[in-house]
């Protein structure tokens, strides 16, 4: 089996979260989805598991934090262009997400941040490798 990453997120409204991540460009894999969790596919190696609090708690050994007021992690998704960053952000914002900070431009990388309904924070970025400083 190829190495893959599965990010498991507890969500309060599974359908609303499914719709939001679909708007960002994820696709649902029904083979690994049911009424307690949805497997959302970003690429051949990156998956986000949206899990009801009850389902998430069955795997977790600690309480679920309130990610609307606490940061549990920053998740970053790369894109092929800054136009794609803007398109993903527009779709996410139109689906009801929030943009908690202004766009950041590091010269070689442009990044925007979006939060889903549960406060999970995603950084959507484009990095131009030809502009990375050599010194």
Q: Which two tokens stand for residue 13?
A: 């409204």
Q: Domains in the chain, start-ordered, CATH in brackets?
A: 1-60 (3.10.180.10), 77-135 (3.10.180.10)
131: number of Cβ within 10 Å: 10
Query: Average pLDDT of the chain?
Result: 95
pLDDT tens per residue across span 105-133? 999 999 999 999 999 999 999 999 889 88
The predicted model scores a pTM of 0.90
The pLDDT, as a whole number, for residue 33 is: 97
pLDDT at position 48 over 80: yes
């Amino acid at each position: 089996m190829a190495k893959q990453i599965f990010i498991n997120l507890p969500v309060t409204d599974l359908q609303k979260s499914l719709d939001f991540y679909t708007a960002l460009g994820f696709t649902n894999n029904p083979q690994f989805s049911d009424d307690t969790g949805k497997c959302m596919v970003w690429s051949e190696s990156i998956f986000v598991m949206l899990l009801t609090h009850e389902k998430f708690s069955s795997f977790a050994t600690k309480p679920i934090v309130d990610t609307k007021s606490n940061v549990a992690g920053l998740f970053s998704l790369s894109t092929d262009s800054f136009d794609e960053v803007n398109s993903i952000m527009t779709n996410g914002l139109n689906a009801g997400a929030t943009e908690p900070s202004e766009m950041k431009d590091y010269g070689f990388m442009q990044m925007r941040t979006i939060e889903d309904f549960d406060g999970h924070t995603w950084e959507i970025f484009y990095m131009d490798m030809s502009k990375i400083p050599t010194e």
